[in-house]
Amino acid sequence: MTKLKLVKERNGNYVLNGNKCKVCNIVFFPKKEVCISCFSSNNLEEFGLENIGILHTYTIVHRSFPQFNTPYTIGYVDLLNSGVRVFAPIKDSAPDSLNIGDEMKIIFETDEKGQVNYYFVRKVE
């Protein structure tokens, strides 16, 4: 299986790497090879997602898979322009005070293996 490329560089900044069907006007993230609406692979073009959205819901996880250190916070953020809901970890010093509806920002970070990961922070903290 080809590894998904979730992040791409655009004008020196990172953005989430989606695509869009020009005919149906639907944005996909992660990318799809075939538009689920017109079932064609010819109308898809690159589309970088915006990095600001609204917190739809979240949770603080206390018990997880063995490879994860707990507690950590995760959530879904709605990118209103793209029409895409994105899942990612949330980094926040006081996660208990997060609220559904908060404005969130996507932050990109390169790990030791050179892979670019992303997470959410509150836009104004």
Partner 1 sequence: MRDVYLLGVGMTKFGKYPEIPIEHLGRNAVFEAIKDANINPVEIESAYCGHAFQGSTAGQRVLVELGLTGFPITNLENACASGSTAFREAFYAVASGRNDISLAIGIENLSNKFKGALGPDETDLEAKMGLTMPALYAMRAKRYMYEFGLKKEHLASISVKNHKNALENDRAMFGAKITINEVLKSKMIADPLHKYDCNPVSDGASAALLVSKKVAKQVGGRPIKVLASALTSGKYEPGFINMTFEDITNRCALSAYKTAGVGPEDIDFAEVHDCFTIAEILRVEGIGFCNPGEMISWIEEGKTEINGYKPINPSGGLIGKGHPLGATGVAQMFEIARQLRNEAGDRQINNPRIGLAHCRGGAVAGTEGAACAVHILMKE
Binding site for partner 1 (CB under 8 A): 1, 4, 6, 26-28, 30, 36, 56-66, 68, 72, 74-76, 78, 83-85, 87-89, 100
Residues whose CB is less than 8 angstroms from the CB of residue 62 and which lie 6 or more positions away in sequence, other chains included: 70, 71
Residue 110: burial class (beta carbons within 10 Å; 0-12, 13-18, 19+):
exposed
Candidates 92, 73, 81; CA nearest to 54 is: 81
Please say which residue, 12 or 91, places its beta carbon nearer to partner 1: 91
Smallest distance from partner 1 to CB 46, Å: 16
Please say which residue, 63 or 124, places its beta carbon nearer to partner 1: 63
Smallest distance from partner 1 to CB 29, Å: 9
